[in-house]
Structure 1
């Protein structure tokens, strides 16, 4: 799995390493820091921290995980929000980068990290999210590590009001829930109907692509946009091995989430997205909240799969990419 967002207690994550928002001095504070010490065994971990000493803000250190399911703990020290004019954002970005550097240098293949600076440090959620997304995405573009952004409760992530204020209104206007589906069933099954192209396409485009399979059309779009296979795989948030199976034909047709992820990676408009999906026997449906949310971002021409996955996560829907 590449990047995922999960709701969990980070001390229970079955990964190589977890990240702790640490106190700069060799003692533990409230929140995640306290929970990590309690779960790992505070006596052993505190003794190690005394051995390490103070940690500078924006830097990280690594210790054993002791009693945790994780083998390692990466301790990183951030800073409090002071209105955004004291270099706070730079410090938090350095935290993410130092965490990733330590993870790579210690051959960690799976990492669970909380949303840094969003708790007691008081960063506005929108700013904390944007820092996290941009730093994780930059790292993942060069790495095959499995990275989990771990949130503990529903209030930890709130994308709608911070990033796209009208997304909930769009969902309400376009999503057909179960109780309203019956009105469509008399004439045809809207949820399973074939895609309808929204805009006119040139006859040459249609004819030239008629005989292409799903992946042939993916690579045709990629070539037209100057994207390499690796760039498509990364932008779609797909595991390298899973993408290779699709490319080689071992997996003939992708899941709906994977197909949508590839459409986003290729930055397709709604018309071409529907065309691509149809090659795998799929269609956008107003009865799928996942589809409606992805369509919202496509119409906005907002093709950042990390932001789309945050919106899907917030609304309880399956994330894009991650698996075929």
Structure 2
């Protein structure tokens, strides 16, 4: 059940069902498009749908009570019921709307943890696309210490593009370096214009002047073992899919363990397994590397099989590098940070 966070208006999100939080009523209520009960809320309910959604699931806020009131626990239970209701309604995808008001007794940090934890609990049970829709990223707050640490790491490692004027100076230096080489190439081309008769004459003179010595004998060609040659070619041509499957076997992991930890769905992973030459997107390749908990060198090898490399000109790459360097392979946490820094998320719908 892949999980992603998007910064969009709800009307731009594609999903079969919409889950939203309300501060009226109790429990979980399910509405179907075109079959609202006669009430004054019909227009508001219609507005809450995405263009494709056919089901609207409302989760009521936990209300205050006695001393044993635990709003986080109640919201966790209600949220789980909402996702279960989406599965019961045969929905393949769900959009969760970030509440536009405060939840009593629940901070926004706690709310994000509840939503993510709910995803993890259902991840092993259901195949469901879940999208958290956050229209205002400022409402999504993470640990200040984590964000500050990542910000410092980016500042220390990020390489910005050279300004146009500096780029011009660099190109000028390169041109000055290449000019002598070009001149030499032109000279060689002039030599090739010598008539064939003169060339043969020069060759005869050189052969006559060459000393008759065993040290000037023609080098002998050594034979190459065909089996060794084929083995080297096979190793060199190992595809991304072959490398991935080999690494999975070496770690004793199962396919579901890997694609669920990588925030991917079963269909995409099956495509990677079946198609030897399948080339995934970079975010998918990185997600799989993190799911396998590869170190930095191993990650570079794996994504290199798909034609990618890490670069300090990309904040996405630097953030991934930071988490791997810290030994953190929690893809949900990594995606939360990537979202805050306005970077593409790993896994999800990025095939």
Give yes or no for TM over 0.5: yes
Partner of 1:247: 273
Answering whether residue 13 of structure 2 is matched by residue 13 of structure 1, we say yes
TM-score normalized by the length of structure 2: 0.68
Q: Is the 8 A contact 1:261 1:320 kept in 2?
A: yes
1:186-265 alignment runs, 5 A limit? 210-211=235-236, 212-249=238-275, 252-265=278-291
Partner of 2:126: 143
122, 127, 135: which one aligns with 1:152: 135
Equivalent residue pairs, number: 278
Tell me, in whole angstroms, the C-alpha distance in 1 between the residues paired with 2:7 and 2:160. Answer: 25
1:41-80 alignment runs, 5 A limit? 47=39, 66=46, 68=49, 69=51, 70-79=53-62
Q: Is the 8 A contact 1:117 1:123 kept in 2?
A: no
Which entry has the higher C-alpha Rg, 1 or 2?
Answer: 2
Following superposition, which runs of at least 4 residues in structure 1 exceed 6 angstroms of deviation?
180-183, 185-188
Tell me, in whole angstroms, the C-alpha distance in 2 between the residues paired with 1:162 and 1:139. Answer: 29
Cα gap change, 1:293 to 1:66, in 2 (>3 Å): same
Q: Is the 8 A contact 1:284 1:291 kept in 2?
A: yes
Q: Deviations over 1:242-290 (max 9, x none)?
A: 2222111165222211111111110111111112122222211001111
SS in 1 for 2:39: helix
Tell me, in whole angstroms, the C-alpha distance in 2 between the residues paired with 1:19 and 1:139. Answer: 16
Q: Deviations over 1:48-76 (max 9, x none)?
A: 989xxxxxxxxxxxxx9645332111111
Tell me, in whole angstroms, the C-alpha distance in 1 between the residues paired with 2:99 and 2:155. Answer: 32
Give the RMSD, CA atoms, in angstroms.
Answer: 3.6
Partner of 1:302: 328
Q: Deviations over 1:101-122 (max 9, x none)?
A: 1111111111111346973436
1:93-108 alignment runs, 5 A limit? 93-108=76-91
Q: Is 145-154 or 86-95 further displaced after alignment?
A: 86-95
Q: Is the 8 A contact 2:25 2:60 kept in 1?
A: no
Q: CA deviation at 1:125?
A: 2.5
Tell me, in whole angstroms, the C-alpha distance in 2 between the residues paired with 1:231 and 1:87. Answer: 33
Q: CA deviation at 1:9?
A: 3.0
Structure 1: segments with no counterpart, 5+ residues: 27-36, 51-63, 189-206
Q: Is the 8 A contact 1:126 1:163 kept in 2?
A: no
TM-score normalized by the length of structure 1: 0.74
Q: Is 93-102 or 67-76 further displaced after alignment?
A: 67-76
Cα gap change, 1:140 to 1:180, in 2 (>3 Å): farther
Q: CA deviation at 1:88?
A: 2.1
Q: Is the 8 A contact 2:59 2:82 kept in 1?
A: yes
Q: Is the 8 A contact 1:81 1:123 kept in 2?
A: no
Tell me, in whole angstroms, the C-alpha distance in 1 between the residues paired with 2:273 and 2:75. Answer: 38
Cα gap change, 1:246 to 1:167, in 2 (>3 Å): same
Tell me, in whole angstroms, the C-alpha distance in 2 between the residues paired with 1:173 and 1:142. Answer: 41
Q: CA deviation at 1:87?
A: 1.8
Q: Is the 8 A contact 1:160 1:166 kept in 2?
A: no
Q: Is the 8 A contact 1:19 1:73 kept in 2?
A: yes
Partner of 1:320: 346
SS in 1 for 2:4: strand
Partner of 1:58: none
